[in-house]
Each structure stands twice: as C-alpha cells, then as structure tokens.
Amino acid sequence: MENIFANKMSDKTDLELQEIIENRFDYQEEAYMAALYEIESRRRKRAEDTSENSITHDSEKDENRYNKIDSPEAIEEEYEEHKSFLDLLKAFVPDKNYFITPVIIYLNILIYTIMILNNVHPIDPSIDDLIKWGGNLRALTLLGEQWRLLTNTFLHGGIFHLLLNMYALLFIGKEIETQIGSSRTLFAYLFTGILASMASLAINEDIVSVGASGAIFGMYGLLIILLTTDKIDLPKATRKNFITSVLCFVGYNLLYGFKEEGIDNAAHIGGLLSGLAVGGFFNLIINKSELNKVFYLIGSTFIILLSIALPNFIPNYFANYNQLMNEFTLCEEKALSISKLGPNANNDQYLNTIREEGIPNWIKCDSLINQIDSIENLPLEILESTKLLKLYCTYRIESFRLMEKSLIEQTNFYDQNLNEYQEKINLIIDKLNGNEVADSTLIVNLNRVEKNVPLYVLDGVPQQTMPNIDSENVKSMDILKSESAIQLYGDRGKNGVILINTK
C-alpha cells in the first residue's frame, strides 16, 4: 500500500487505526485502505513475534480491543453493502443528468396515494375503481376514450404491484437515463407504454389492464439494444453481467406471465418489442442530438394517428354491446315515465303517456335487444341475459297494450292478465339480478282465462271473473249468444255474455 497516507498510518496507535476503520466513511478511501493495510501488517507481525512474552497493561487493553476488529475481507464486504445501499438511496434523488426516472417513480406513488385517500383498497382494488381511475378496457378505450392508453400506465392493482414495478424501473432507470439523456428516456417510457397498452387491447377483450410494466418492459428492450451494440460506456465484465441480469429478468417474467392468470403478458410483449424498436432508432442517432426533435415529432404523430385509427383495426364487441345497452336503458326510462304521473292524473293523461311514450319505447327496446344477436364472441352470461331481456320486452309491450285497452274500454276485465304479466316481469328482473329463478316460472299463460267461460258484464262494465254479488241485489240478467256477443264485445264475447244489472 504505497500512498500519501502510508507513512502517517505507521505512526498511529492501534486505537487510532481502529477509530479510522470504524468511521471509515468519514475519511477518504485512500486513508481507510492505508489504515486497513497497516493494522493487518501489525496483526501478522504479532503472530510471528512469539518470543515476546511481556505485554504492558495498556498494550493488553489495546490488543483486546484490536482483536475485535473484523478481518479486512469482512470489512470490505460490509463497505460494499453499505455503498450499494447508498447507491439505492441516491437513485431516488434527481440531479442534473438524472431526474425523469425519479419523477416517474414519484408520480406513480403519488397517484397510488391519492387513490387510497379516495377509499380505493390498498392491496386489492376493485375493477370498478380501476376503470374509474383510468384503467385500459377495450369496450371503453375504443369508444372514444383513448386517453386510457396512457393513464393506465400510472395505475397499479395494489401496493405490491406498485413496489415490484418501481423496483424494476429503479434497477435500470439511472443507467439508461445517464447514458441516453432525460428527454430520450421520457419519450421512450411514454412511447413504449402506450404501444404496450395498444397490444393489450388487441389481445384482451374484457380485461382491465393497469400498471407500468408495459413501459418498463419497453425500457428493458431499449437497454438490451444499448448493451448489445456497445453504445453505452461500461466495462466488459460489467456489461456481460448486466446483459445476463436483464435477459433473466425479461425471460422469467414473460414465462411467469404465461403461467399465471391475471398478468397482462400482451402488454409486456408489446412493450418489449416497441422498446427494442426504439432502442434501434436511438442506436442510430445516439450521438446526433439534432435529430431528437425530428424523431420525437415522428413518433408522437405515429402514436396519435394510431390511437385514432385503433377502433378500425380492433373489433370492439363489448363496446357495441354497451352502446346498445346504454340506448336500451334510456328507452326503458322513457317507457316507464307513466310511473311518474301523479295521483291526480286522469285517464286521458295515462292513455296519452302509454301511447306516446310507453308502447313506442318498449318496441324500440325490443329492437335494440334483438340487435345484440348480431354481435359476435359475446360471453355466455351476456347471451343468457339477452334472452331474458327479450322476454322482458315482450311482456312489457303486451302489458302496456292491455293497459291501453283497459283505459279505452273503461274496464278492469284485463286486470288478471296484467297481474300475471307483472308477476313474470318481476321474476325476470330477479333472475337478471342473479337470483335463482326457474325458467319454467317465467312463462305467461296467455290463455289464463279459462276456455268456454262467458264474459260477465255488471251494470255495463265487463268483468274478467264472475262478480260476487248478492242475488237480492240483482235487478235483471240476460244472456247474449256468440254472434251477438262478438258484435258488441269483440273476441271477449266469443263464449257468450251474461248481462247483469243491479238494483
């Protein structure tokens, strides 16, 4: 150990040397190494000097304290661990040539924190919450919400998802940013993140995708290109180890993604491939900063145009279904506007509402539900609910037509069938809400009024069932046979009519 500190260390006592070693981070590295060398030399000398048997009391104290010093190898190993920890902390601190990576990390953490403060579950957020905060879902993204291609890259499905992604970014972020610059790092991260989101949309029909992993895989793809083309300044051994670590990370995570459910490997692969492409372009212009703006402009224009054209390339079955269901909901609300009429509404108001709002909108609802049959690749549960909605619309149309006839004819003759329809409608709603309801109980018996039963007319008002009246109150009773009954009462009179007048 020949340096300017060597002679100085030979004049120091063991206690002074130990103090330097114990507080090594307060001294220059050369001073620390000189003290380490000197104390190791003294250790060896003492071991060889076996003839010296007398040691002063102070020397014994020094020796006991000296023997507690770790070996140079252990001290050096501890030093390296401490240095690695300091490097990890420094990775969170922005500086002039390194600030995009920390900002991205802080932004992800900030968004996660805001979500938690707004009652989103910290470990297992719900699908609805992820969609609300900007998750990537084909049915919504391709229906004019392309901003989700970017926002989903800053959302995470829980604290563990966030920590794993941020660690993966931290592992390579500083190396990439200090080598290619902050502006290129930001462009590569956003560009590959958006393309990863597009890849997810192309493969996944009904999965809500969130997380920075697509963009992070893009950065790993970029780094692979830089490492394999000698465009970054690293020692040969370090470069080899770095490439091995990066390839192991990418390979393991892709294989794990194919094995486990709930992992968006489409986004990972899309990000990786786009990162390789961006790395290839950066490789060409690595020393040509004047081409940065041109590259950014071309890349941004490509992303914008592709986002706009995306619905033309990716079939959006769920979006079409959702659009029809949204229209159905609006029509249903209009059709049920009769329920908003107050208690003072007269028969004419009810009749007009049924004719102008009720029946036309129920017919439109039925048409919308039938259009769902033309949509391909819908899940079985949606197809089953569509069948129920068809039956629901049929019963609504028939019941509203019966209400219209009741109001026109001023009769309660149809009340029994109206009650039957309403009962079945309620059962259908229960089944749509997930309750167990047998299909056989959903069928309305349209011939519920028994055959060969005559129509009763009490004081000029048709009755669906035989009226319960005291015989002493009956003034007169007449019978109309089929032809005469049909002329006066239509099909209701086909089984004959019994006319009852009371006193």
The closest of 212, 183, 180 to 197, measured between CA atoms, is: 212
Q: Which two structure tokens, joined as six digits, stand for 157?
A: 């499905």
Q: How many CB atoms lie within 10 A of CB 46?
A: 13
Dihedral sign from CA coordinates of 203, 209, 213, 219: positive
CA distance 332 to 351: 18
**Can you tell me which residue has the tokens 């492409």?**
277
HSE-CB at 178 with a 13 A cutoff on CA atoms is 12
489, 462 contact by CB (below 8 A)? yes
CA distance 216 to 212: 6
Report which secondary-structure segment, H or E, holds 200: helix 182-203
β-sheet with 455-458: strand ranges across: 461-463, 455-458, 497-502, 474-480
> Residue 405 contacts by C-beta under 8 Å, 6 or more apart in sequence?
414
Which among 200, 268, 307, 385 is annotated as catalytic? 268
The Cα diameter of the chain in Å comes to: 146
End-to-end Cα distance, the chain: 131
Catalytic-residue membership of 121: no
Which DSSP category does 133 fall into?
Answer: T
Catalytic-residue membership of 471: no
**Can you tell me which residue has the tokens 């995470």?**
156
Which among 197, 209, 213, 274 is annotated as catalytic? 213
CA distance 319 to 169: 34
Which DSSP category does 134 fall into?
Answer: T
Residues recognised as catalytic? 213, 268
